[in-house]
């Protein structure tokens, strides 16, 4: 009988955007099937700004009132060690692009935890990625700006209907990813599909050689495709931005 691992998700909310936080929670849930600990470390201003997000994701905000340099990072590191000793999680996922967590990652691994990292694309250095047992960079999708309200018409002029807001731009994806999604339509819809089925479709579309590995193809874009289970994957899911 397989027992699901105990997983702790610790978020450096001062370092990554709310959009990346939401993606990190959803991705970790999809990969492990559960999250036993969900904590976000931030200052008071950030806690108020992300209050609705934390409540919706069942994330517990750990508010740091100190204003010194790296004070939030230190609070997160201290709490992580206490948490590992008390709760004994199998996996600790740190959501941050900060390179200052190297001593914490090493100590957590010494305590017997698998330490995974999730960062924000464009903010993470290669040295940081190399610290973790696995690391994924997630794209930040900026929210669309709201259209300005139309001015009220005067008595002597006719009211003019405001122009409709511009349609959101479709996500910009690499050409090889678009070809994969075109060949395997179920992936574009966000569903999970067996790897052997995906491989057949990709070979039929001449995107994969007869003896080539389909997991290797999907691993070229770890921020867009999720392979499960982690050690011996047999399913794949598209986790990138929604397609029009």
pLDDT in tens, the chain (244 residues): 567 899 999 999 999 999 999 999 999 999 999 999 999 999 999 999 999 999 999 999 999 887 777 889 999 999 999 999 999 999 999 999 888 899 999 999 999 999 999 999 988 888 888 889 999 999 887 665 665 565 665 555 555 677 777 766 666 788 888 888 888 888 888 888 888 888 888 888 888 888 888 888 888 888 888 888 877 888 888 888 777 6
Give residue 2's pLDDT.
66
Give residue 58's pLDDT.
96
165 CB neighbour count, 10 Å cutoff = 11
For CA atoms 169, 175, 181, 183, the dihedral sign is positive
Cβ-contact 40, 59 below 8 angstroms:
yes
Confidence (pTM): 0.60
The strand order across the sheet containing 225-228 reads 192-194, 235-238, 225-228
Q: Where are the domains of the chain?
A: 7-138, 175-238
Return the HEC string of the chain.
CCCCCCEEEEEECCCCCHHHHHHHHHHHHHHHCCCCEEEEEEEHHHHHHCHHHHHHHCCEEEEECCCCCCHHHHHHHHHHHHHHHHHCCCEEEEECCCHHHHHHHHHHHHCCCEEEEEEECCCCCHHHHHHCCEEEEECCCCCCCCCCCCCCCCCCCCCCCCCCCCCCCCCCCCHHHHHHHHHCHHHHCCCEEEHHHHHHHHHHCCCCCCCCCHHHHHCCCCCCEEEECCCCCCEEEECCCCCC
Give residue 147's pLDDT.
56
Give residue 5's pLDDT.
92
Give residue 22's pLDDT.
96
Give residue 69's pLDDT.
77
Give residue 158's pLDDT.
58
Give residue 116's pLDDT.
96
Looking at domain 7-138, which of 3.40.50.1010, 1.20.120.530, 1.10.1520.10, 1.20.1060.10 is its CATH number?
3.40.50.1010
């Amino acid at each position: 009988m397989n027992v699901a691992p105990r997983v702790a998700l610790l978020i450096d909310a001062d370092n990554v955007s709310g959009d990346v936080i939401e993606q990190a929670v959803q991705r970790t849930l999809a990969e492990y099937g559960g999250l036993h600990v969900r904590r976000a470390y931030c200052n008071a201003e950030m806690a108020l700004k992300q209050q609705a997000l934390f409540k919706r994701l069942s994330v517990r905000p750990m508010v740091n009132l100190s204003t010194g340099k790296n004070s939030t990072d230190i609070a997160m590191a201290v709490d992580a060690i206490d948490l590992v000793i008390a709760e004994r999680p199998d996996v600790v996922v740190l959501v941050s692009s900060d390179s200052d967590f190297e001593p914490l990652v090493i100590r957590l691994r010494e305590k017997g935890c698998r330490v995974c990292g999730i960062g924000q694309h464009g903010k993470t250095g290669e040295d940081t990625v190399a610290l973790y047992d696995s690391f994924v960079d997630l794209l930040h999708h900026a929210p669309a700006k709201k259209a300005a309200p139309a001015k009220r018409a005067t008595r002597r002029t006719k009211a003019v209907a405001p122009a409709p807001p511009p349609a959101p731009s479709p996500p910009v994806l690499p050409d090889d990813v678009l070809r994969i999604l075109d060949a395997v339509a179920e992936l574009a819809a966000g569903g999970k599909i067996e790897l052997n089925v995906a491989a057949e479709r990709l070979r039929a579309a001449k995107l994969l050689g007869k003896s080539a590995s389909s997991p290797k193809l999907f691993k070229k874009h770890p921020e867009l495709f999720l392979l499960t289970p982690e050690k011996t994957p047999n399913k794949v899911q598209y986790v990138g931005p929604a397609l029009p």
